[in-house]
Amino acid sequence: MNCTEVFNYIFESFNSNNIDYAIIHSYQYLPDRFDSDIDTAINVPNIKDAIKLLDDTLVGTGWRVIQFWRHENYAADCIISNDDEFLQVDFCTHYERNGRVVIPVQELLDGKRMYKNFYIPKPQTEFTYVLVKKILKKVFSDGSKQRLTALWKAMNEKERQETKAGLKRFIAEDQINEILECVDSLQYDLIDLERAHQLLKKKTSNVADNLHYKG
């Protein structure tokens, strides 16, 4: 199996076994082109279960997990290989940043939809995830700018209102419209990232109170 074939095998196996997952961003050219890691939200009890699930799924394919590392309590990066080619499949059981659970996995997967032969989040969720992630990193890549603007422009009015309402728990209400205007016009340099970053850190400081890390 080459990279495209093993990608199809993994995610079609997940579909057949009713695994609750979604590839949360940078999926547009999959599985024909792999421009980045395959970032996947997955609803399993423990991040170790996601790694084992991937390894078990690969049995008999000639591919295997050759390396993995946990970079957050609820996230792990997995390198898979057939000794000739490599892919990186990254799992998260919640979106976490610096020890804070920012977006629970149930929210990442709610309303997911089929795209090609794998699941992706609904547009509101993908938009919120990418925007919040970039604010926490305090930088917008060119790819994230293009994607956020494309998602926003493609939303209908109902989806836009839902997105705005959901952003209120992350961003000051008076800044939401300013940010969205910048997104709409591709003027990301006008966003006050430092203000948004500081408030976002405060607003997410207690999100994990009802979640319990399992080693």
**Mean pLDDT, residues 94-118 taken together:** 93
158 — pLDDT class (breaks 50, 70, 90): very high
- CA nearest to 175, candidates 199, 156, 155: 199
Other beta carbons within 10 angstroms of residue 212's beta carbon come to 7
Structure tokens at 163: 């997105």
Other beta carbons within 10 angstroms of residue 69's beta carbon come to 9
Look up the pTM and report it: 0.92
State what percent of residues in the chain have pLDDT above 90: 86
Looking at residue 205, its pLDDT comes to: 65
Contacts of 26 (CB under 8 A, 6+ apart): 35, 36, 37, 39, 143, 147
Residue-wise pLDDT for 19-45, tens only, equals 999 999 999 999 999 988 999 999 999
Query: Does residue 211 carry a pLDDT above 50?
Result: no
Q: Please, what is the average pLDDT of the chain?
A: 93
Query: Does residue 206 carry a pLDDT above 60?
Result: no
Most confident residue range from 70-74, 108-112, 197-201: 108-112
CA dist 2 → 26, 31, 36, 54, 87 (Å): 20, 11, 17, 16, 10
* Phi, psi (deg, nearest 5) at residue 120: -135, 160
**Mean pLDDT, residues 179-204 taken together:** 93
Number of residues in the chain: 215
CA torsion angle 165 171 175 181 (round to 10): -60
